[in-house]
Chain A
Amino acid sequence: AREVIRPKADKETTSEELKPWLRTIYSTKAEIVTPTVIAGVTFSAKPAATPDPLEPWVSLNKDGSPKTIKPELKNGRTKNPHPEYSTYFQTASVRTFSYEELKAHNMDPNDVYEEEVFIDEDKTYVSLNPIIRCTPERYFMKGSANDISSQPFCTPRENTSWKVGKTYFVSWFTRFFEDEFSGEVVENVRVHLSYVKEKASEKGFHKR
């Protein structure tokens, strides 16, 4: 006979619990946000009261597995800072100004000045995603001759391996799915996984 060892109960502090939080969107609309954890990455987490410029962000490995990046301050510069997306998620439009509006001294009174303006996207929901977003500059080349662009995918890369039991992120450039006629970005998408018949010569020969 031996003494029964009771399993230790998981210690969980209140700060670790993911509780829903309230935010106001579009100036007046109240919304309850419920954080979710996928593969150790917390989505829709409540932002800190004081934003930290060195707050960790999540990058993706070639196979699509998440990797946390911690920005560092070195010699007055930030190493591994949060990713910038240039104008990939902005909408370009042309704004015209007449002479009466500008009163520029070097402008002809009958002339019209055109300026290209980039309108930022609605970041209401995008800002809650801590994972790096897919942009065309992060596309890779695929195919046997490495001559086909992977668009719209950034991850996973071709010929990588997905192991059973692990979670991987498929990421794509959202603006790739634009309607040809209206120019609007498609609202919904669906991810498919399909079997591919392997050639006898290919079987068991890929890099493990």
Chain B
Amino acid sequence: DIPATFFSSEWLKNVDGMYGIEIDGDWLQGQYERKIVVSVQPSNIPDEEFNPLENGVLLYMIQGSKVSKYSKEELALQDAGISNDKWYYVALSIPTMVIFALVCIYFFLHYNGKYRDFSDVTQAALGKRHRVLGEVSKMKKFRKMKNHKYSELPSYNEKSSKQ
């Protein structure tokens, strides 16, 4: 029960000088990576006196990348005629449903065409609403306004030298 220790091997023969460890996914505790320390406890040091963090090697334990390639197990299943092709049905069903919906809409519009009335939004209807203002001089508001012609405006001649 050494603190922070999540794996302890059984007592091994020191003469071997090595130990193979297979990394278990559960050790990551749901995380992608964990920093760990590897240490070796000799039998002449009791558990209470041994601190794994004192003399060890720091390293990382990672989930690793997934290669999208058929594994041996998947290939074996394929050989047995078992394949997981759910994605294939999903990929095919989406465009099929869209095409089916478009066809339905087409026939719906085609058969209901005679019941449709868009006369209130046609060009003729919009034209009726259009109002022509006409000339400004004929407008009631500006009818009495005298608008002099440009020729009637006062002009100034050049003065003679006698003046």
Q: Are A173 and B38 in contact (CB under 8 A)?
A: no
Which range contains the number of B residues in contact with the other chain?
Answer: 35 or more
Alpha-carbon separation in the docked complex, A152 to B55 (Å): 9
Q: How far is the CB of A90 from chain B (nearest CB, A)?
A: 14
Is the C-beta of B16 less than 8 angstroms from some C-beta in chain A? Answer: yes
For the complex, what is the distance from the CA of A172 to the CA of B53, rounded to whole Å? 16
Tell me whether A185 is interfacial, beta carbon within 8 Å.
yes
B41 at the interface (CB under 8 A from A): yes
Contact B35 A195 (CB under 8 A): yes
Give which listed residue, B6, B18, B20, B39, contacts A195 with CB less than 8 A.
Answer: B6
- State whether the Cβ of B94 lies closer than 8 Å to any Cβ in chain A: no
Check A195/B4 contact, CB under 8 A, given A162-B61, A169-B19: yes
The minimal Cβ–Cβ distance linking B58 to chain A, given in whole angstroms, is 5
Q: Which of B74-82, B129-137, B144-152 contacts A (4 or more CB under 8 A)?
A: B74-82
Query: Which residues of A have CB within 8 Å of B7?
Result: 191-193
Q: Which of B25, B40, B43 contacts A191 (CB 8 A)?
A: B40
Q: Are B11 and A188 closer than 8 Å at their CB atoms? A: yes
Question: Are the C-beta atoms of B59 and A162 separated by less than 8 Å?
Answer: yes
Q: Which residues of B contact A42 (CB under 8 A)?
A: none
Question: Helix, strand, loop or mixed for chain A's interface?
Answer: loop
- Which one of B13, B17, B24, B59 contacts A156 once the chains associate, using CB atoms below 8 Å? B59
Partner of A169, one of B11, B18, B62: B18
Residue contact B18 to A172, C-beta cutoff 8 Å? yes
Option from A4, A126, A157, A192 in Cβ contact (under 8 Å) with B81: A4
Q: Does B96 contact A (CB under 8 A)?
A: no
* Shortest beta-carbon distance from B123 to chain A in Å: 62
Contact with B19, one of A150, A161, A170 (Cβ below 8 angstroms)? A170
Residues of A within 8 A of B40 (CB): 152-153, 170, 172, 177, 189-192
- Contacts A158-B58, A167-B21 given; does A194 touch B28 at CB 8 Å: no
Q: A116: CB under 8 A from chain B?
A: no
Q: Which of B18-55 contact A (CB under 8 A)?
A: 18-25, 27-28, 33-44, 52-53
Residue among A169, A189, A196 with most chain B CB within 10 A: A189
Which 3 residue pairs across A and B have the least CB separation, nearest first?
A163-B64, A193-B7, A188-B43
